Each structure stands twice: as structure tokens, then as C-alpha cells.
Amino acid sequence: MTTTAPPLPARTTVGIVGGGPAGLLLARLLHRAGIDCAVLEARDRAYVEQRQRAGILEQGTVDALRSSGAAERLDREGLVHDGIELRWDRRAHRIDFPSLTGGRRVWVYAQTEVVKDLVALQLRDGAPLLFDAPVSAVSGAGTDRPVVHYAHGGAEHTLACDYVVGCDGYHGVTRKAVPEGELRTFERVYPYSWFGILADVPPSSDELVYAHSPRGFALLSMRSPRVSRLYLQVPGGTDPADWSDERIWDELDARFAVDGDWRLARGPITQKSVLPMRSSVTEPMRWGRVLLAGDAAHIVPPTGAKGLNLAAGDAVVLARAFEELARTGSTAGLDAYSDTCLRRVWRAEHFSWFMTTTLHTAPDQSAFDTRLQFSQLDRIAASPHAAAELALNYAGLPVG
Ligand code: FAS
Ligand code: PHB
């Protein structure tokens, strides 16, 4: 084994495993509070910054980025959206957020851009952020000095911490630091996936369009006034290579079909990927000195645009708890962290399940099931109370 100087200090207050939105925002908030931390990210910077994922930021996430000094480009380039459109049975209905939620709205600003902004700030003036540093294990979760074991530069290293936060996503290792049987995971796997594309064509709608159709769900989103982001429901295991650009556009045309003269503009498709759909929650989100945040603790189907925003909410609650500990010595915030976050997580799980099962056509769906979906969508169009419940959940409930 080569012996090289460890790339990080031998110890820190908060060891953060994973440099996605949860880990990076937590590090940024801790740095602003003067709390020592370090981020270990398995992949390289380029990979992390180009990974196509979420596109919608809730008010709470935007507030957290602004308060941590990470929203300058977001405020310059982000697209503010006051509503979404639902389509079903060739009909369309717009949900207006500000009038139904007392002024809340959402921002279209891709997760890739949030990550780029946070990485740049972290490298410029934040706590250590180490790329190409896969964590193999976290030990000592039940002690007051948990240890992160990681590799970097061909050597193995350790980082002793007061606390370790697993921000390492659904396939991360931090959950394994907790003794068998101490965590409980609740899961639902959906019988379909999302086929996502990026296309160099201006979006054919100013706002997002969520479409139910007997052929399956479709979503029109965007990344900028010149780049469209679209998704269509496909069977699990679909291979993007089996779909030509023409077949994709034809299928999207059929699913967005609506009375009137609306047309879907086409353009060159620059990225294709298939994303499985699942719901998952691991409880509790804290065990001893190890805490879980973001996808390491919970996964939602992307229909409700909650994943990234839940991760941000966890980071905000956790940063507040660590600030309280540093300022007063009280662990009350840390002790309440899991319960505080799980209330919001389960609300988002239900909303994401609701949006998914109301708008997707399951493989074994009956005509009766479809009529129930139409009844629900008709109710949202007819009742401001039903519309407000959707708008409040979509635009984001207050954090913490
Ligand atoms: P992330 O998964 O983003 O980050 C975890 C990080 O930990 C990664 O960078 C990983 O490399 C690192 N890591 C893992 N194991 C490690 C180890 N052992 N050591 C060190 N580092 C390690 N949400 C939406 O709202 N809308 C969407 O459209 C949407 N699309 C998605 C598409 C895909 C393919 C996926 C997987 C998710 C999507 N999501 C979407 C959800 C997504 O945005 C997540 O909610 C968000 O990335 C959560 O952020 P993190 O919790 O930071 O986890
Ligand atoms: C996206 O733009 O990637 C996006 C938007 C809304 C969703 C899911 C994904 O519900």
C-alpha cells in the first residue's frame, strides 16, 4: 500500500458522503455557519455536473440557495413559472400557483446548474470537497467518533468525524453503517419507467404540460427558452436505442393531443435516458452519529418534481440543527431531525404517488380505472379547493 499524505485533514466536525445537491447544499450552509465539514464524492467533477436529473426548484429550495449566496446565476437565468397545464381526454386545464397558494411559484433551473453553482462556490471558498474519493464504509456510527473510510489517489484514507451525513443517494454506502434491523425501508416500484430526452428546440409551451393519455403519460418541460426537456412513460427496461427520434416525436404528438391548434415543435434530440420509477423511504433518518439526507433516505417518482427539493429541505433542517449544537450545545435539533423531515417526506411521497397514479396508464389498467382518473382530473378543474391542494403540494410546503 502506498503511503501518501491524506488529501483531507484527519478529522472534521461533519463528514459528508456524496457531492450531489444534498451534500453540496449542506456543506454550503455549514460553511456559512462556520461549522467545519468535508465532502467526499466518488465521481469526478465533470460527471457530477453533467448528470441530467431534476428541473424544478420550489420556493423553499430557492430561498435556501439565496440565503447561502448560491443563487446569483439562478436569479439571472432561472425561469419563474406561475403554473402548470394538465391534459386529459383532449382537454387542457391550467393550475395557477400564486392565486391558489398565496403567492408561491416555482423556478425552472436544472439540477446540473445547481450542482455547478454549488461546486464552484465550494471550491472557491468552501470546506474541502474531494472528487474521485469513493467511500467504502462508515464505521463507529454508535460511537462519538464515527470514521469515514475512503480511497483517493490510489491510497486508502480515513476521516474521523463528530457526525457523518450520508448524502450518497439511493445506492450509497452510509445506510450500511447502521446495524442490521435498526432501519426500516418502505418501498413501492411502479410498473413503468420514464424515457427522458433533451432536444435543441424551443419549448412548445411557456409552462410545463403534464399529459394523461391512453397510450401513456407524457411531460413537456424545459431547460431554457431554446432547449426542451420531455419525458414519456415507457415499459420498465426500455432501451433508448430502440427509439428513433421520429418515433419519439410521433409518440409525444399522440400523447399531447388536445382540441385546438396547439402543435409540438420538433428538433434534434441530444440526450436520451430511461429512469425507473420508485417510491422509497428509510426510517429513521438518524442512528447515533450517522444521519441520512436526500436520496440516501428517500426516493420519489419524479412526477411531482419533489426529489431535489426534498434533498434541499433535509439539508436546511440539518444545517439548522448543527448550528444550534455549535451555538448552544443542544442536540434538540439533531434529535428531532428524522421526525421533522419524515413528516415532509411522507407528504411528498403521497403527492408524488398521487400525481403518478392519476396521470399514468398502468399496463393492467381497466376502463374503470381510467374513468376514476378522469373524475379526479375533472374535480381538479372544477374545484378551486382540489386545485389548491395540488398547487400547494407542487409549489412546495414550508420546510421544517
Ligand atoms: P444524488 O444521487 O444526486 O447524489 C448522491 C451523490 O453521492 C452522487 O454524486 C454519487 O456519485 C455520490 N456517491 C454515491 N455513493 C458514494 C460513495 N460510496 N462515496 C462517495 N460518494 C458517493 N428529481 C426531480 O425532482 N425531477 C426529476 O426529473 C428527476 N429526475 C431524475 C433522474 C434520475 C436518473 C435520477 C437518478 C434521479 C432523478 N430525480 C429527479 C431525483 C434527483 O433529482 C434526486 O432527488 C437528487 O439527485 C437527490 O440529490 P442527492 O440526495 O444529493 O442524491
Ligand atoms: C424536469 O424538467 O426534468 C422535470 C420537471 C418536472 C417534473 C419532472 C422532471 O415533474
Residue ranges of E strands in 200-255 = 208-211, 218-224, 227-234
Tell me, yes or no, if 9 is annotated catalytic: no
Cα(98) to centroid(ligand 1), Å: 29
**Span(s) in the chain for CATH 3.50.50.60:** 11-81+106-187+278-355
Which of 212, 306, 337, 360 is flagged as catalytic? 306
Q: Is the pLDDT reported for residue 281 higher than 80? A: yes
The residue-averaged pLDDT of 253-280 equals 97
Q: Is the pLDDT reported for residue 6 higher than 90? A: no
Tell me, yes or no, if 81 is annotated catalytic: yes
Question: For residue range 192-206, what is the model confidence (pLDDT) as tens digits?
Answer: 999 999 999 999 999
- pLDDT score recorded for residue 268: 98
| CA-based nearest residue to 366, from 374, 377, 355, 354 | 374
Which of 128, 203, 301, 302 is flagged as catalytic? 302
* Angle, CA of 49, 187 and 172, to the nearest 5°: 35
Architecture of domain 190-276+364-395: 2-Layer Sandwich (3.30)
- pLDDT score recorded for residue 396: 84
Tell me, yes or no, if 302 is annotated catalytic: yes
The residue-averaged pLDDT of 3-17 equals 84
- What's the Cα-to-Cα distance from 155 to each of 11, 139, 236, 347, 387, rounded to whole Å? 17, 18, 39, 43, 56
Distance in angstroms (rounded) separating the CA atoms of residues 9 and 243 = 49
The residue-averaged pLDDT of 245-265 equals 97
Tell me, yes or no, if 109 is annotated catalytic: no
Question: For residue range 294-312, what is the model confidence (pLDDT) as tens digits?
Answer: 999 999 999 999 999 999 9
- CB-based contact 338:331 (threshold 8 Å): no
Confidence of residue 8 (pLDDT cuts 50, 70, 90): confident
Nearest residue (by CA) to ligand 1, atom 9, is: 20
Q: What percent of the chain has pLDDT over 70?
A: 98
- CB-based contact 378:387 (threshold 8 Å): no
Nearest residue (by CA) to ligand 1, atom 29, is: 54
Question: For residue range 328-382, what is the model confidence (pLDDT) as tens digits?
Answer: 999 999 999 999 999 999 999 999 999 999 999 999 999 999 999 999 999 999 9
- pLDDT score recorded for residue 126: 76
The residue-averaged pLDDT of 237-265 equals 97
* Residues in contact with ligand 2 (CB, 6 Å cut-off): 54-56, 208, 221, 229, 302-303, 305
Mean pLDDT of the chain: 96
**Span(s) in the chain for CATH 3.30.9.10:** 190-276+364-395
- pLDDT score recorded for residue 346: 98
Which atom of ligand 1 lies at the shortest distance from residue 231's CA?
Answer: 28
- pLDDT score recorded for residue 366: 98
| CA-based nearest residue to 23, from 179, 127, 140 | 127
Cα(190) to centroid(ligand 1), Å: 19
User: Ligand 1 in contact with 295 (CB < 6 A)?
Assistant: yes
Which of 210, 231, 301, 337 is flagged as catalytic? 210
Q: What percent of the chain has pLDDT over 90?
A: 95
Distance in angstroms (rounded) separating the CA atoms of residues 27 and 129 = 9
**CATH topology classification for 11-81+106-187+278-355:** FAD/NAD(P)-binding domain (3.50.50)
Question: For residue range 76-91, what is the model confidence (pLDDT) as tens digits?
Answer: 999 999 999 999 999 9
The ligand whose atoms approach the alpha carbon of 208 most closely is 2
- pLDDT score recorded for residue 4: 56
Distance in angstroms (rounded) separating the CA atoms of residues 377 and 213 = 12
Confidence of residue 5 (pLDDT cuts 50, 70, 90): low
Main-chain dihedrals φ then ψ at residue 36, nearest 5 degrees: -70, 130
